[in-house]
Amino acid sequence: MIYPTIQTEDPAVYEIMKREEQRQKEGIELIASENYVSRAVLEAMGSTLTNKYSEGYPGKRYYGGNEIIDQVESLAVERAKQLFNAEHVNVQPLSGSPANLAVYMGLLNPGDKVLGFSLDQGGHLSHGHPLNFSGKLYTIIPYFAEKETEVIDMDKVEEIALREKPKMILAGFSAYSRDFDWKRFKAIADKIGAFTFADIAHVAGLIAGKQLENPVPYFDVVSTTTHKTLRGPRGAMIMCKEQFASAIDKAVFPGVQGGPHDHINAAKAIAYGEALKPEFTNYAAQIIKNARALATALQGKGYRIVSGGTDNHLMLVDLFGSKQITGKEAEKCLEHVGISINKNMIPFDPRKPMDPSGIRVGTPAVTTRGCMEKDMQTVADLMDEALMNRSDENKLTEIKEKVKQFALRFPVPGVE
């Protein structure tokens, strides 16, 4: 992209931006929570809509001059409703954790019990980690994957729920490669009169693309980020049944936020419009095909995939168990050759969180660039070659060039 004004007015920032652009072009992006947005989304984020302040909601603002801003926020809301079959949508949350905080505040009182997926098993910080607001303000009861299968046993979830009787059941994850049984979660919650809250941040695009089941028709409240598989700007939204609309809206504003970011809401509207097009369904399907192909290719090289495979866009690779390589070591090595992944704990990991046994790998970004199943074999080859030669600087330099030549075959949307 060309940034003539930045280049002139602030060459230091310009130089950093161009180097990051080059890194994205020449590297293979396998971080499961990252993606590339369209040029239209990029343009909206840099628009004059950022100049407006609009505390409140359409038709009920605290400042004047919002008649046009009301239109763009309303458009985003209507498109989100259509995309997810939602009764009510709030598009103002600035990111995933504030969105989840608003859900807690809207439905619960401090100290209430919440049943959530444990972080070390694949859950998220905001699902009850003791250092997070969720763990500090609420009584978190964790559920886990089974040690033998590394898959959640819903009978065990029901057993815990019936015993503990939480006020809310939270279903969602950040590092779990299997689909969730939304209907079963709802049935369990109904037995004890608990609220149902789904965090679909990672799989929202796969749900919008009709590849995974949509929890919105069943659950009381559903939150999601708007980037990741949904391929929109950095941000979030909350969807809920109409009966919870007032509580959720008040929790977002004035509960945890001030004015929304109107330029981001415009970018969300554009991204939702893109996701409503037929080609987005093809994209979502390809993400899963690529993830399964990559998992199979890595398994063929002796790497253990947690739970044996994937139903979505990501996988956890047990490097220490299969190759005696730590997640920290692998992340550093792969980054050195231009492949981005993140170290990650695996279920029942014997190692520490900052140097765990595994890595998390995802396919949304490479799929956006146009990679297909056959390309996943090349990606696996490059990963394996780097990891097997991690102490050979000359070899790693050769592999970095291979990564670059592979990546440059696939344009970066919005940039090229």
Q: Are 284 and 35 in contact (CB under 8 A)?
A: no
- Which residues, including other chains, have CB under 8 Å from residue 228's CB and lie 6 or more apart? 32, 33, 34, 35, 201, 202, 204, 205, 364
- Listed in order, strand segments (DSSP E) in 5-145 are 28-29, 56-57, 60-61, 88-90, 113-117, 139-143
Does the active-site annotation cover 55? yes
Asked whether the beta carbons of 346 and 318 are under 8 A apart, the reply is: yes
CB of 313 closer than 8 Å to CB of 364: yes
* Known active-site residue 199: yes
- Told to judge if 378 belongs to the known catalytic residues of this protein, a careful annotator would answer no
CA separation for the pair 353, 366 (Å, rounded): 27
Among 29, 73, 167, 225, the active-site one is: 225
Of 199, 262, 274, 385, catalytic: 199
Q: Count of CB atoms within 10 A of residue 43's CB?
A: 15
DSSP 75: H
> Is 114 strand, coil or helix?
strand
Pick from 106, 107, 103, 125: nearest CA to 116? 125
Please identify which of the residues 53, 113, 153, 213 carries the catalytic annotation: 53
234 catalytic? Reply is: yes
DSSP run (H or E) holding 339:
strand 339-340
Cα 296 to the center of its chain, rounded Å: 23
Catalytic residue list contains 53: yes
Catalytic residue among 18, 184, 234, 323: 234
Among the options 52, 61, 178, 228, which is catalytic?
Answer: 228
- Catalytic-labelled residue, pool 55, 164, 181, 335: 55
| Residues tagged active-site | 53, 55, 199, 225, 228, 234
